[in-house]
Amino acid sequence: MRLKPAHWASHLRGPLASVYGIFSDEPLLLQEAEDALMAAAAQHGFAQKQRLAQQDGGIWDALRDERDAGSLFAAQRVLLLRLDSPKVPKEASAALQYWLASPPPDALLVLSGPRPDASIQKTAWFKGIETHGHTLLLYRPEGQDWPRWVEQRLRAAGMQADSAAVQLLTDLSAGNLGACHQAIQRLQQVYPGQRIDAVAIRAVLADSSQFTIYDLADAVLRGETEHMLHMLDRLRNGDGEPALCLWVLHKDLRLLAELRAGGVDVDAFFRQNRIFPPRQGWLRTAARRLTRSGLQAGIKDCLAIDARIKGQDPTPVWPALTDLCLRMCR
């Protein structure tokens, strides 16, 4: 059957099924749900954990072999199969259905990966998981659910935050769950069990290298290439979080793209976005310096860097952030 995300924690406190399918397009939600299941499985005596990757050769034959490998003396084990895509080949569907036809009593199969669309959810292998076990589909919080998600995460970390702090963290993260999670972890370390305000949010986002992500963003707007490179170097070698750097750069790129679009009442635009001097002047200068095509390319670069931060692309993050800052400076 299909489980609702709100019921996931309570379900794990009861008996476990023999097979689970956990799917989400958000790596953080996927990993947390998987970790919670692993903790519950350990309490039920599943001492061994084996990861199977879809790109491994012969993975589907290995799954068949695992089903037949159980014995009275085998240790209980969890098989974690991470799917690169929910569109599995025919041999995969056949192997999964073979497993589901007679799941071994000493094994727990967990499939995880990107969220399948409606057509995939009608396939035999997906329906088989819901018949013999459970599926869990996790969605990114959108709209008004996003600030509620941020506030809930703060409470779960043992912190209370006033409305201004929640709004600031909501605005800065702009739907980036991984970056928001990292920021809350840092808040938890600096202000354990304390009430959080907007000042605390900005203080924690500062880096121990004596530069903050806001200093970096301002240097980029001013086109100070050498100063920007020095800041990036200190952030990279200190406690700088790539996700937090990307936040402020992407936010400025969106502001610059709107200014460059034309037909904008600039003064009203600054008031609406709560931008005050001297940043107003820096944004005006940067908008004149950068082309529309360059700004759009920078926004696309942000999406690629975000994929690297989330682990979807193994390419190093900091060189890409440097290239983005250079693009904005020049």
If you average pLDDT over residues 182-191, what whole number do you get?
84
Whether the per-residue pLDDT at 295 is higher than 90: the answer is yes
With beta carbons less than 8 A apart as the criterion, state whether 157 and 195 touch.
no
Question: What contacts 83, CB < 8 A, 6 or more positions away?
Answer: 54, 111, 112, 113, 114
With beta carbons less than 8 A apart as the criterion, state whether 187 and 157 touch.
yes
**Phi, psi torsion values for 192, nearest 5 degrees:** -60, 125
Kindly report the pTM of this predicted structure. 0.61
If you average pLDDT over residues 111-131, what whole number do you get?
89
| Spatial distance between the Cα atoms of 43 and 279, rounded to a whole number of angstroms | 54
pLDDT the model gives residue 13: 92
Over residues 235-272, the pLDDT tens digits come to 887 767 888 899 889 999 999 999 998 788 888 988 88
Helix and strand totals (H; E) in the chain: 16, 8
With beta carbons less than 8 A apart as the criterion, state whether 128 and 100 touch.
yes
| Spatial distance between the Cα atoms of 176 and 164, rounded to a whole number of angstroms | 19
**Phi, psi torsion values for 3, nearest 5 degrees:** -95, 145
Q: Looking at the domain that runs over 2-138, which CATH code has it been given?
A: 3.40.50.300
Tell how far CA 169 is from the center of its chain. 15
Q: Which of 153-157, 197-201, 205-209 has the lowest mean pLDDT?
A: 205-209
**How many C-beta atoms lie closer than 10 Å to residue 170's C-beta?**
17
| Spatial distance between the Cα atoms of 241 and 235, rounded to a whole number of angstroms | 8
Over residues 138-186, the pLDDT tens digits come to 988 877 888 889 999 988 888 888 888 888 888 777 667 877 888 888 8
**Which fold is adopted by the domain 141-205?**
Helicase, Ruva Protein; domain 3 (1.10.8)
The single-letter DSSP state of residue 281 is: H
Task: List the chain domain ranges.
Answer: 2-138, 141-205, 210-330
Provide the token pair at 53: 């990757």
User: In CATH, what class is 210-330?
Assistant: mainly alpha
Percent of the chain's residues with pLDDT above 70:
92
Query: Which residue would you say has higher pLDDT here, 104 or 54?
Result: 104
Average pLDDT, the chain: 85
Q: How confident is the model at residue 209 (pLDDT cuts 50, 70, 90)?
A: very low
With beta carbons less than 8 A apart as the criterion, state whether 232 and 217 touch.
no
Question: What contacts 260, CB < 8 A, 6 or more positions away?
Answer: 287, 290, 291, 292, 295
Q: How confident is the model at residue 73 (pLDDT cuts 50, 70, 90)?
A: very low
Q: Which of 116-125, 135-144, 210-219, 260-269 has the lowest mean pLDDT?
A: 210-219
The full length of the chain comes to: 330
Helix (H, G, I), strand (E, B) or coil at 212: strand
> What is the number of alpha carbons within 13 Å of residue 197 lying toward its C-beta?
1
Over residues 29-62, the pLDDT tens digits come to 998 999 999 999 999 888 788 877 655 557 777 7
